[in-house]
Amino acid sequence: MKIQKLLKTAGAIILAAGLSVNVVQAAVYTDVNMADWYYESVQYVSDKQIMTGLDSATFGPGQPLARAQFTVILHRMAGSPEPAVPSTFSDVEAGEWYSDAVAWASSAGIVTGYIDTNTFMPGQSVTRQEIAVMMYRFARYTGKESKARADINNYPDALQVSSFSYEAMQWSVAHELVKGDKGNLNPQGTTNRAECSTIIQRYLENDWIPTGTENNKPGNPSVPEGTEKGQAVVNYARQWVGKTPYQYAGNSLTTGTDCSGFVKLIYAEFGITLPRSTWEQEVIGIEVEEKDMQPGDLVFFSAYEHVGIYSGNGKLIHMATMEQGTVEDELKWMGPIKTIRRVL
């Protein structure tokens, strides 16, 4: 590792100079050894005072990281700013060691908690996909977000990635913040303190291009934001082709839904709330002509109350029949187009 090499080099220089000095190993924890794969990362976050030990002698590398702990880490990385408003979560009381961090992260849009119960669950272990989401939002907050996205569909457990974290996981994998866990993403798995230190070091040492500058390179044409977001919608919808069955009035991508339900569920993953019925959906957003269609546009048909997501190259992702379920096929599968709506 880099630190080991530096220590050896420093030692060699000292010996060559004939100096007598006690070289003190910089590692400060009894449970973190120089041979451990996470040694350099623990050293890194300790030196920057981003992560501290469980006590003065113990780091606890294998211990699961709690949601409150990771929020405090991000708060320190941001410079420990004062929260704009107090936390409104019912389970985060004022005066706790994590209260200011949670209040700041909530007001900055980095954490949202569990909206249905208005709780944050500070003591709950943070999952790998939650880490990805919080890092992604933190990058956006600090202006370090990039448009890079990885195709994660080749991972055997890609369908276990929750919709709220799908794009964040693509982003995290693209920047190698989150790497495979024995060939899997393991999105629902917990993250321990050693793994967290590694993710933080990768993030801070990663010199990717910030949002808005990727397309300034010579020969790289400008790509509208809506086009890229639409493609992200298509990429997510495509992973459900052949997997989501038809179920009239259903509301699940796993157990089944209908055409308008499918569209609603896909867009919900990107923070966009659509009406439930086709006739309500066909009047939202802005209408575009067929020649101007972009991936992610909603396409409605004249003959039936039917809707699908335009996926580009004359193709449509939609809920077809009870026998077929979700498919990607020719755009005019249902005949003449009634209207095309853009909601991105």
Residues annotated as catalytic are 259, 306, 318
CA nearest 343: which of 283, 292, 290, 289? 283
Three-state secondary structure of 182-212: CCECCCCCECEHHHHHHHHHHHHHCCCCCCC
Instruction: Using alpha carbons, select from 237, 235, 255 the residue that is nearest to residue 245.
Output: 255
DSSP-H helix ranges across 91-211: 99-107, 128-142, 166-174, 193-205
Q: Determine contact, residues 334/301, Cβ cutoff 8 Å.
A: yes
Distance CA 262, CA 285 (A): 18
Beta bridge partners of 251: 257
Name the DSSP letter for residue 65. Answer: P
Residue 257, number of CB atoms within 10 A of its CB: 26
Cβ-in-10-Å burial (0-12, 13-18, 19+) of 306 comes to: buried
Q: CA 37 → CA 5, 34, 41, 189, distances in Å?
A: 15, 8, 8, 20
- The helix or strand, by DSSP H or E, that contains position 318, with its residue range, turns out to be strand 315-319
CB 132 within 8 A of CB 191: no
Distance from C-alpha of 281 to C-alpha of 267, rounded to nearest angstrom: 12
What is d(CA 50, CA 53) in angstroms, rounded to the nearest whole number?
10
The sheet with strand 326-330 has its strands ordered as 286-287, 337-342, 298-301, 307-312, 315-319, 326-330
